[in-house]
Structure 1
């Protein structure tokens, strides 16, 4: 493999000394970029874009051609996994994702099996390998998956949801069934992330988008337990170095201390928790990633710079911080405001790393 020219992101995740705080943005390859919208139009549909390794590579690299980001993240979708498990993913115009065959019964759980990572999800692996090649060692590549709870919620609801009626109904009335489903999804996610690592991903991130809607006890039993199972099963070394694992539960700031015990290397933090509080909670056991409010990018570049300074000051001196948004960048953000964010992080963070 080509030697990595910029490993600041990986070193920060391992809490090793760095010259500055590295930065990348969740959903950095996306609709806020006009070049993405052009590629998406050429692809024909969102899923056609995901399933075309060459175009997925193209959009993965687009933000890196605009901004001096410190990591690339695979362009894909978390719902590729349940689709490959046989649920029949489709997108209704103006309605978001849906599944033709949602999971509602014991028979439904029984019929789903682990997909073959090459025949069923080979397009993802081909994209990972191609992106890694085209990066040429410029920055590390992040692979990712949704968490078992988040994926299972989509699978049971049959799409997006606002009140979690079916998924929480199963959790309360048939916890045995929900555990059976979560176990299958966790094993699939483990294999999926390991396949990404085998094809060139240098870090792995698990997005627990809906873990924050659970009670503390249910979060531990139905979400965190299965993320820990995945962490335990992941390949943790490739290319002669550790493959860091990042867990991110949106709305999970109150559980960061529990999350830090899973064996992961870093935790994503949304904008509702101060990094100073998060750092105290995890006691430097893991690195932290975050956590600018994505809506700050609607502000002027001058205000963005001040907000970046506030987040950096909240974390404080030393390594172990990867700058990011507290969730994904919004599609109507001005790309120049994203550029202002990246520039501010690189400039303002250096005084926090005097020993590097």
Structure 2
């Protein structure tokens, strides 16, 4: 199926994810396609966020914007989409409220909620429900013309459960904690259902892109769990995805792709995550690069991260210092490290400061020498 697309000319990300020694660390950043770019607003226009996600030509155009702006500096594209398309496929309504974020008008209120029964009973046809995502992946792979690989992603079961029961973003996690600590059995069933949908969704992304490049699972709210709760409510379902995606790809006639897990805030779980079958472990900025690298090397894992996104609001001297700390801590950048931020780009970042971040990684790792 790979013959449908131009040959990949830059496989640095894939080689690094496989643990190979490389000439320099590959780099990209989370949310690199987004609202900090003026060209994003030009293409988005008056469209709703989810309308952009559901329009393959728009999603493709937004995905390509950072590749074109930072040509020669970044080594991957990530498809423009959202983690909440999975709850939508499971039959829940999600809308994007201006200046507030995603909102579920009817969140799951408990196991007795009739909507919970409908969600659990629903036979999710991922290809039918999310066909627009796969169309965007295919179109983007073609228009990338082999410049860089394309990353596909999904939200992790714990993070998606939080949204589905909280109704949107939260600081208290009252409903999510009520679910897992009061309705443990129902929570486990819901988490497993989400994990199964995630596997099929990621597999179909690979089919749509005939080796999409790399898959990333975002557990954005993992840090809201204690170490014991993480092992109960997050880790088993992250592991389910990484253990079962290769099997599903094989059934579909596709080869395995490198897999990344990013459990934001769960600094205590690094070794547990290294014991999984994920190839790459994403780090937020709470990790010390050298300490994390020492752990990952014991398990032959590649790390991804982990600059504080807030440094992009700072001076170039501050950016240089953060990059220096990463390059030194992650072994010089020639094996086992994908340069990235420790989370997504935050609003109002100057695109030129992100460019300087990329240039510093190139400079400090001796790229081109």
User: Which TM-score applies when normalising by structure 1?
Assistant: 0.95
Q: Equivalent residue for 2:88? A: 83
Q: Equivalent residue for 2:243? A: 232
Q: Equivalent residue for 1:295? A: 310
Is 1:220 matched with 2:236?
Answer: no
Answer with 105-114 or 136-145: which moved more. 105-114
Aligned with residue 123 of structure 1, among 103, 121, 132: 132
* Distance (Å, rounded) in 2 between the aligned partners of 1:246 and 1:291: 14
Q: Equivalent residue for 1:52? A: 55
Alignment RMSD (CA, Å): 1.8
Q: Equivalent residue for 1:99? A: 104
Output aligned runs, 1:1-356, within 5 Å: 1-42=5-46, 44-67=47-70, 68-106=73-111, 107-112=114-119, 113-200=122-209, 201-235=212-246, 242-282=256-296, 283-317=298-332, 318-350=334-366
Answer with 224-233 or 111-120: which moved more. 111-120
Contact 1:114/1:184 (8 A) holds in 2: no
What is the CA distance between 1:253 and its match in structure 2? 1.6
Contact 2:19/2:300 (8 A) holds in 1: no
Count of residues paired in the alignment: 352
SS of residue paired to 1:290: strand
Contact 2:330/2:336 (8 A) holds in 1: no
**1:235-288 residue CA offsets vs partner (Å, 9 max, x unmatched):** 367998641000001111211100111100010000111111112223242100
Contact 2:25/2:339 (8 A) holds in 1: yes
SS of residue paired to 1:142: strand
SS of residue paired to 1:247: strand
- Structure 2 stretches of 5 or more lacking a match? none
SS of residue paired to 1:144: strand
* Distance (Å, rounded) in 1 between the aligned partners of 2:254 and 2:19: 18
Contact 1:59/1:75 (8 A) holds in 2: yes
* Distance (Å, rounded) in 2 between the aligned partners of 1:197 and 1:266: 17
* Distance (Å, rounded) in 2 between the aligned partners of 1:213 and 1:159: 15
* Distance (Å, rounded) in 2 between the aligned partners of 1:276 and 1:241: 33
Contact 2:64/2:77 (8 A) holds in 1: yes
* Distance (Å, rounded) in 1 between the aligned partners of 2:354 and 2:255: 31
What is the CA distance between 1:118 and its match in structure 2? 2.2
Contact 2:107/2:167 (8 A) holds in 1: yes
* Distance (Å, rounded) in 1 between the aligned partners of 2:200 and 2:255: 20
Contact 1:71/1:140 (8 A) holds in 2: yes
* Distance (Å, rounded) in 1 between the aligned partners of 2:237 and 2:346: 29
What is the CA distance between 1:104 and its match in structure 2? 2.1
SS of residue paired to 1:262: coil
Contact 2:242/2:259 (8 A) holds in 1: yes
* Distance (Å, rounded) in 2 between the aligned partners of 1:207 and 1:149: 10
What is the CA distance between 1:94 and its match in structure 2? 2.7
SS of residue paired to 1:207: strand
Contact 1:253/1:278 (8 A) holds in 2: no
What is the CA distance between 1:115 and its match in structure 2? 2.5
What is the CA distance between 1:45 and its match in structure 2? 1.0
User: Which TM-score applies when normalising by structure 2?
Assistant: 0.91
